[in-house]
Every structure is written in structure tokens, then in C-alpha cells.
Structure 1
Amino acid sequence: MTKRRFRAAAVQTLARLGDFDYNIALATRYVEDAVRQGAELIVFPECMDTGYLFDSAEHCRELAETLADGPFVKALAALSRKHGVYIASGITEWDPAKQKIFNTGIMFDRKGEVACHYHKQFLATHDQNWFAFGERGCPVVDTDLGRIGLLICFDGRIPEIFRAMAMQGAEVIVDMANFFAMDQADMWGPARAYENGVWLVAATKAGYERSIYYPGGSMIVDPKGRVLSKVPYDTHGMSIATIDLDAAADKSIYTANDKIADRRPETYCIMALPYEQTPVCGIADRPLIPSKSVTKVAAVQIHVTDTTTVADVLDMVDHTAKLGAKVLVLPDYAFSPQYILSAKEAAALADQASAHLAGISAIAARYRCLIAAPIVERAAAGLYVTTVLTGPDGTEIGRYRKTHLTAEERQWAVAGDAYPVFETPFGRLGVMSGYDAVFPESSRCLAIGGADIILWPASLREAFERELLAVPRAEDNRVAVVLANRVDCPYPGGSVVIPPNGFPQWDINVAAPRVLRNGAVMPKHIDLAVCRQKLMIPKVDMFANRLVETYASIVAA
């Protein structure tokens, strides 16, 4: 019988390189302490048995243990059996059958038996010096503590890995990590929990191991992305919290939407294609002319209100273009005083679309720029929530029909079914509209399709849409993101341009404080060469390194 509530502990400590006796004693002490505090799931960091920074592949092989008779593995199994708890830890595994070394996650059940066995998939540069890429997919297992999935550290930077586990019904994700940077803990962990509606129990190291500094960041995050418990940086200890599985069953967002049920898996097919068959393949190897590879983009934070007219909106767009912006983005329903439309209001806006686009066209032609204007489009199938891209000659380059509709939009709109990427004089552009951005698949499909810049007209309703999702949507995909938000929605303002490599400070509210004024403009120069360089660090390509054969649950209907 599954327990609906239980206590979990994430351990923050530091293994000693090559010293099994020390590391076993350390783990034993933490398990005993966690058990005293009522924990039934205890999580240790990555490579907790051996340490992490080896001298060479030979050194790693010398230390790696097998699952059958490794000293650390046997000790954890005995501790699980003795205390009747679940213990998960990262280990350095030698697989004698495959003749390979894996960066492995292992979880033991209450009887000391292996409950889940995982291989790290997304390997950092140094990982690739001695570890093989994972061959066990994205496993999720049933336990009396609920459905649990395992991943390891850098895996959290690939949205598909978390998502594949969530789509298999994972309620709790266990992350055994060696976080190198604070953003890994403070942003990516909560972001993945939030976008998937699952619990995250993340254990990492703190301290120095040779050339690596581990700041810490062990934490437990709830399915709404809220950090319930966290070990302070640069200290050793445990993060302990109560896991409520019913919270993971609640995937609700906004008034009546569901961040899992509202997915459109039939539109995500490009995510399962082999890298060599995708437009993003080799995009970094195609030459650019430096003088023509920089684009000035701008989020134009203005929309119609009781005191701001359509003419005022067009005037602000005109001024922005006059000052040199070449790609301009307006917020959701910029020509309406409402961020939520009734069927009657949507129909009226559709009737006015031609006039609004005529005004946009004149400005685009006047300043030789591109303008992304959200409208309501009337077509044979019905009304669409559409973003029209008007190019520098004043004609339409293309249009995107919103794929993920809010509950209110479903009352009158038809959903789109594609993520087009438009070749323009200012780079390859894609659009995710409003609610689309909650789904990592939207930006992922655009980036796999070769987008340099993703335009995001929005009317944000939750703080975490900007605070947790905006920067990962750019950095996960190595694209620039232009967020243009309304000022009358539940989370107003904060329009921003995010570079493909993010900000120096992970906290977007520090890096780009919110501006709430209707009429604000956020411009930025974007280097397309940086957008097409898909390496996060050497040998770590955000697309070439994906293991697409493990993503079946993401594209399954």
C-alpha cells in the first residue's frame, strides 16, 4: 500500500576521493541521523562512493565498484535493510558485462534490494573522460512511497529527462548531484519541479574536491516549484521535509488548466527524431557574416487600456522601430483592453485584425524591421490565437497559431498544430504564445527546428512563469527569448530579452528587475552566432547529446 505522506532527507556532504571506508562511515552517520528524524527516503549526492574528479579513466576504473559486490553498495543495502528505509545514492559503477564505467544512481528498498538502477545520460565534459553515456533510459518505479524516478545532476539541464519520468507517472524525482553552480539548485531544480508538477529531492555536495568547488544547494521542492527545505550553502547537513503525494497529483495551473493534460504530444514529433535528421544539426558549423549577424530586438510592453488606444500602441511601436529595433514583439492581445477574451470580444478583435495589421505593416515597411503582432485570426476552421510576423517590406512573413490554449481560449478558439520557424533577414525566428511557454516542449520544438530567437507574447498569470521558466527556456535551447508581457495580468510587466547564455546572475529579478509601466520598451542586441553555438561547455551540446530513444513517453499520445 502506498503511503500518501512520508519524510524525505537530502544529504549535503563531501565524499573523500578513493576512500571507501570514510565514505561508508559518513553515509552511515547520516542515515542514522535521518532515521532518528523520521525519514523514510534518504538521498546522497553523485559518486558518493568514490569521489568524482579522477586522475584518469584508469583511475576511475580502479575505484569503480560493481552492483554485485561493491563495498559502498553493500553498505547502503545493509543500512536500508537494517532501518527499513529507502536509500538512494550516486555511485561509480563498473559493469563487467558491458565492460563500461557508468555514473550511476541506485536506490535500495526497505529490504535492501535494488528498487531502481539509473545511468546518467547527459554527461558533463569531465564525465565524458571516464564514463559511458547512460543505457538505462528514464526509469520510474512503483514503491510503497509512491512512483519514484532517478536522475543525476546535469540531467536536470535537459528538460526531456524530467519530462519523460513525469509522463511515466513519477510523483517524486530523486536527484543525486554535484552542483557546480548555484543556478543549478536555485533555478533549474525548482523549474523542473514546477513545469512537471512533481516533488524533487536533490542532494549535492558542499566543499572543494581538487579543482571543483561545490557550493551546495541540497533541497526539497514541492510540485508548485516552492523550496520547502534547503541546506545552507557551504555547510554540511540534511534537508528534511514531508512529501505529500496528493500534491503531485494536482497539475492545475491558472483557473482551470492542467500542465500535463493540456500537453499536445501529437505536435512534438520532432523531439524524437535522431539529431542528424533535425534542422538544428550542425547549425553551429555554418558560416555567418559578423556584420550581419547581430540583431537588435525589443519587447514592447504596451497594449490597449481604458486610456491607451490602438493609435497609442502603434505610436510606441513606431518610436521603438525609429530607434533601431529590428525585431519587435507585442504582448498577448495587444489591441484589446482585456487579457482574457470572451467569445464576443474575440470575434470583435478578429474583425479588427486587418486594420491593426495594416498599421503594423506600414511601420515595418517604414523602418525596414520585423514586427510580431498577436491577433485573433478568423479562418475557415474558426478563430485562432495567432501571432503574425510582418517583414521589412511590409508583407507577412508568416504566422503562428497558438498550440496550447487556456481554458478561456478553448471556449472560442481552435488550437494550432505546428511550431514553424521563419527564415528572416534578422535570423531564424519562432513564436511561443502565452501559455505555450509553460510546456518545455514548445521551445524545444522551435530550437530543434533551428530557431535563433523565440518571441514570447504573454499575459503571465503566475510569478514562476517568469522567475523560473524564462531563463531556462533560453539557456536550455541556446536561443534568445523575447518576452513581451502585459501590465494588467495577474503577474504584470517584467518584459525582458534573455540572451542564449542567460544572465551573469541567475535570479532574473536581480538581473532584469521588473518594469510595470505600460509603454516600456526592453531592447537588446542579440548575436546570432551565439544563438547557433549549442555547446553549454566543451563536448556538451544541448541537442547532439540528447538520447532521443529514451523520450518515447513524451511523444506518445
Structure 2
Amino acid sequence: MIRVAAAQYAVTNDVAANLANSVRMIHEAGKCSPDLIVLPEFANHNSWYDNQDHCYQVSVDIDGEFSQAIAQAAKQVGAYVVINCTVRRQGNRATGTSLLFTPDGELVAENNKQVLIGHENDFLDIAEQQGPIVDTDIGRLAMYSCMDGVINETPRCLALRGAQILCNSLNSFAIDEGTLHIPVRAAENKVFVVAANKVGPLIPEEMLEPVSQGINIPVEFLSGAGDSQIVAPDGTVLALAGKGEEVIWADIEPSQADDKSRPDGSDIFANRRNELYAILGNDPQTQTLPEFGGAIDVDAAIVASDSIAEVIQQTQQLINNGNKLIALPELFWCESGSQPDMLAQESEQLLLALQQICPADVYIGLSIVAKHGNGYQHQGVIVSQQGVVHRQGQVHASKRHDWSIPADEFKVFHSPYGSLAVIVEDDAIYPETFRLVAMQGVQLVFASLQQQEAWQGVTGIIERASENRVNVLAASTACEDSLICSLQKDFTIMTPWQERQFDGLLSQCQVVRGNQSPICAQVHPQAAANKVVSHRTHLIDNRPWRLMSAMLD
């Protein structure tokens, strides 16, 4: 058992004052006798520069006074310390770099930011190599920072390479960092995350009002959002900071991060399909997303029930009320221990019943069992008046459905409402799955689920929708596990918005839940075309494609 801590505090544009404050916070955190302390991103100077030379001048030398003072503080408190600064590089350039110091005051690792956001792209260089996995006496540590964790690839690769504790330094005003992007990276990779964000203005105070007016972001959202936290491998938040200066800590057992098992015993890392993910490592400049057509608005719904009669009745009601896209849970009528041959027969009867009530302009996504070759396959299907118009076999193996013959690709279906996909439970837990269909231009996903872990409904499905900018209808038999993820039409920050004001969410979609079935909402297929979250920051194209060998090999 070890103790980990995160220090949350404000940073200004005064490098000397920031150094003194960082040292003070290390000592403040040291009062709880931690083995590891994580500090925020850009701790030397707020991410606000007049020009490239200014950025370089306020950056720190890797072995300079700033670094040496942090090393001394780490030695004085006897803890590993992670801090992120802009670091001077050759040619008047700089990188956003996380630094790891040992309890002896030695700098043992550095990791440059892989995914830049907004004007960081104008002043900083991105990483040219993977971040290190540091095997220490307290566990295997790795580092990433802020935007690296808003999309999945950087934390995913660190976890696949063996990290047990991910140290995330943030410089973020976004409230969805704390509610979504930080905790989901722990749960989807089954690792610990120790995340430290800032509070206080993220730009010079005298600039708050003019900048707010110029970029359409209210002043209150130009400060660090706080919400520093420590998250367990199951997604449980063990410690959570508020909105002011604070130190949080928790006792953890790093070896728990070595267990990658789902409740049914499936190993989520062993069951990955690296051979199918190769396109994720291709240069985005050579890839073009398909044209985004389809509808602007569509009425959609999910049914949460384990009764065939109830599902048919509610589906008919939804159709009568004008809903065009309807999602049903995974094998919702199936009892534990049911054999695939019987499930296949029952599936055929269910599909016929749905086809009979389905008008020409309605599509229903669900999960069935079908004969496949010499065996059976668990499939997601889309049903219309014409019958089954799209089949998607389960790609990733699971012990729950160990009889299912794996499919070898993810496919999309082109409907009048836009491009659709259907994904089943044991594929939906993999961030790679949604990336692959998003890169095929999918605008809405029917997620036919039987939720096995709480994190999936709390953060998992929401993140799959948000980091890929796809609408999702996620149906499980339990209403509390079901949700609709609907994309906002106004999205890119610091651009004119027509329908809403900035609400503190960087990329999180709108989430609709309900206390009873059915759950209805309007979704926006054409909104999936805009994946630019900020200046020069595309949620798919800006993935660190050069550094993803751990996901692909």
C-alpha cells in the first residue's frame, strides 16, 4: 500500500513566484506523508504568450534553477514528484513536459505532451517519442497531461505498456475533465489515475474581460476548474478536490492495476484485436472522413426492459409517436445459461415481430444470436420494414459469450438519417471500437448493451460519444444503465455559437437519462461532421498516430 497525493493551486505569469508556490505546495502535500505527489500542467507560467520568443523565455531549462528547486523539495519531503512545465528546447522552441523526480531529488523521466490544444499548437512542439514507463519501488509510473487525456490514445498506450499509475497534470477550465475525461481513463484501462488541475485565472487577470468578449467564453470559465482527483481502476473516485487550493490524497495498492478482468473473467487487454486497429496508426493527412449527410434532427429513443412483450409494446408506442431510431438492449430476453441454438431461434421470432411493426422510415438497433458458419455468432443488427438491413458480429471475445464466433471488422450502414453502426456490450468497452466506426463516418451508434460494470454508464459510453463526436443510443435492460448521447450543434470553442452559451464543457455531449422506459431525445446526425474542439485541434486527426505502436503491434 502506498499513499498518493495531488496538489491543486493557482499559477500566474510570474515564473519566480510560481516556483516558490510549487515548492510550497510540495511541502504542503508532504504533510500527509505521501509516496507520490502530482502537480498541475504549465506550473512555471500560464499558457499565455505574446509570441514564440516570449514562450521560450518563460520556459525552464531541464536542469536549471526551477528544476533544481523542485528536485530539492522532492528530496526534502521524501516523495516522488511529478510537475509539468514548458521546457526550453533547441532552436528557440519549447515543449510541454512532465518531469518525474525521485525522493532522492533525481530527475529520472520526462514526457512531452502528445496532443496539443488551441494555441498550444502555435507555440509548443509535440512529442516525438512515447512517454516512459518508470519502474519504481512504489509501482510503475507514467505521465501525461491535460489534452492527452481528452482523447483515449495516450493513456491507453501507457497502460498497455504496463503502467499501474498514470499521473495527469492539467491546465484546464473544462468541467468535463473532472466529471468525464479523468475518471474514464482509469476505468477503461483498469489503472490508477492521479490528476492535478489548477484553480485561479489561466490567463493574465487584466485580460479576463477582453478575452472573454473576444472568444465567447464567460469569465468564470477562464479559470482552472479544479476537481483534481485520484481514481481507482474500477472508476471509483477515491479523493476529489473542490474549486480552491487544496491537497488531496488516498492510499492505493498499485498491483490492483495488473488485473484487467471483467466480471465474467474476460481480460480486456488480452482480448484486444491489434490486427484490426492498424488504420488508427496511419497519417491522418492520408485519410479523409466520408461526406456527412443525413438529417439535422431526428427523434430517437431507447427501450429498457427484459420482456419481449413489453419491448414490442413500447417500440410500437414510440413508432406511433414519431421516433425514427430506436435502440433495444443486448439479448434482453435471454436468461442466464441459455444455449446459443435456442437463442438463435428466439432471435428469428423477435426479428419477425419487429419487422412487422416497423414502418419504412424507422430503424431499430438491437442484439441477437444467429447461425454463423458451423456455429453461432452474437450480432448487433439494424432492423427495418425490409427485415435485417445490417449485421455486425461481436469482434472482441468474452467469456460471457464464449460460443460466439468473432467477426473481423466493424461496418457501417448508410441510412436516410446518416451513417449508423450497432455495437454490442463486449465491443463497446474498447475505445478502439468507436474510433474505427467514427473514422468510417458514423453519425449515430446503436449501443445494444447489458452493462457489466458501473463505469460504463457513468463515463464510458459518454466518452465514446464525446471523443469521437457521434450520437449514441445506449440501451440496457436496467433503465438507470441506459442513456442517450446527443451531440450539440455548437461545438468548437472560441467560435461564434448560435444556439447556446459556453457551459464549461470542452467536448462532452448532451446526456439524456430517464427514470422509466422508454427514454426519448432528439439527436443531431449532421453535428457529427464537426470534430474540431478548438483551434487546430481535431478529435480524431490529432490523435498521436506516430506514437501508437503499443495499441497496434
Taking structure 2 as the reference length, the TM-score comes to: 0.88
Aligned partners of 1:500 and 1:356: how far apart in 2? 31
| Aligned equivalent of 2:99 | 106
Q: Secondary structure at the match of 1:17?
A: coil
Shift of 1:199: 0.9
Unpaired stretches in structure 2, ≥5 consecutive residues: 209-221, 492-499
| Aligned equivalent of 1:273 | 282
| Aligned equivalent of 1:249 | 258
Q: Does 1:456 align with 2:447?
A: yes
Shift of 1:408: 2.4
Shift of 1:135: 2.0
Aligned partners of 1:381 and 1:272: how far apart in 2? 34
Q: Among residues 308, 325, 328, which one is paired with 1:327 in the alignment?
A: 325
User: Which amino acid in 2 is paired with 1:471?
Assistant: I
Shift of 1:84: 4.0
Q: Deviations over 1:489-545 (max 9, x none)?
A: xxx544322113499697x9x953442x4xx22232222221111112232110111
User: Which amino acid in 2 is paired with 1:301?
Assistant: A
| Aligned equivalent of 1:157 | 150
User: Which amino acid in 2 is paired with 1:497?
Assistant: I
| Aligned equivalent of 1:472 | 463
The 1:451/1:341 distance shift into structure 2, 3 A limit, reads farther
Q: Secondary structure at the match of 2:249?
A: strand
Q: Does 1:17 align with 2:13?
A: yes
Q: How does 1:98-247 map to 2 (within 5 A)?
A: 99-209=92-202, 210=204, 211=208, 212-233=222-243, 235-247=244-256
Aligned partners of 1:99 and 1:61: how far apart in 2? 6
Q: Secondary structure at the match of 1:455?
A: strand
Q: Among residues 316, 322, 328, which one is paired with 1:318 in the alignment?
A: 316
Shift of 1:114: 2.4
| Aligned equivalent of 1:263 | 272
Q: Does 1:398 align with 2:387?
A: no
User: Which amino acid in 2 is paired with 1:64?
Assistant: S
Aligned partners of 2:228 and 2:238: how far apart in 1? 11
Q: Is the 8 A contact 1:45 1:203 kept in 2?
A: yes
Q: Among residues 50, 55, 61, which one is paired with 1:55 in the alignment?
A: 50
Aligned partners of 2:545 and 2:357: how far apart in 1? 43
Taking structure 1 as the reference length, the TM-score comes to: 0.88
| Aligned equivalent of 1:415 | 406
Q: Is the 8 A contact 1:302 1:313 kept in 2?
A: yes
Aligned partners of 1:247 and 1:539: how far apart in 2? 38
Q: Among residues 486, 497, 501, which one is paired with 1:499 in the alignment?
A: 486
| Aligned equivalent of 1:538 | 535
Q: Does 1:85 align with 2:88?
A: no
| Aligned equivalent of 1:353 | 347
Aligned partners of 2:39 and 2:129: how far apart in 1? 20
User: Which amino acid in 1 is paired with 2:547?
Assistant: T
Aligned Cα RMSD in Å? 2.5
Shift of 1:27: 2.1
| Aligned equivalent of 1:35 | 30
Shift of 1:160: 1.0
Q: Secondary structure at the match of 2:392?
A: strand
Q: Deviations over 1:473-502 (max 9, x none)?
A: 110100001111113xxxx54432211349
| Aligned equivalent of 1:298 | 301
The 1:29/1:373 distance shift into structure 2, 3 A limit, reads closer
Shift of 1:417: 2.1
The 1:378/1:500 distance shift into structure 2, 3 A limit, reads same
Aligned partners of 1:337 and 1:272: how far apart in 2? 38
Aligned partners of 1:63 and 1:436: how far apart in 2? 46
Higher relative contact order (CA 8 A, sep 6+): 2
Q: Is the 8 A contact 2:293 2:526 kept in 1?
A: yes
Deviates more, 1:169-178 or 1:113-122: 113-122
**When the two structures are aligned, how many residues end up with a matched partner?**
523
Shift of 1:99: 4.2
Q: Is the 8 A contact 1:341 1:409 kept in 2?
A: no
Aligned partners of 2:422 and 2:47: how far apart in 1? 41
Aligned partners of 2:395 and 2:537: how far apart in 1? 30
Shift of 1:41: 1.5
Aligned partners of 2:101 and 2:545: how far apart in 1? 28
Q: Is the 8 A contact 1:49 1:91 kept in 2?
A: yes
Q: Does 1:71 align with 2:65?
A: yes
User: Which amino acid in 2 is paired with 1:39?
Assistant: P
Q: Is the 8 A contact 1:179 1:217 kept in 2?
A: no
Q: Does 1:8 align with 2:4?
A: yes
The 1:463/1:82 distance shift into structure 2, 3 A limit, reads closer
Aligned partners of 1:505 and 1:522: how far apart in 2? 26
The 1:329/1:513 distance shift into structure 2, 3 A limit, reads closer
Q: Secondary structure at the match of 1:356?
A: helix
Shift of 1:456: 0.3
The 1:126/1:549 distance shift into structure 2, 3 A limit, reads same
Q: Secondary structure at the match of 1:398?
A: strand
Q: Does 1:550 align with 2:544?
A: no
Aligned partners of 1:56 and 1:99: how far apart in 2? 11
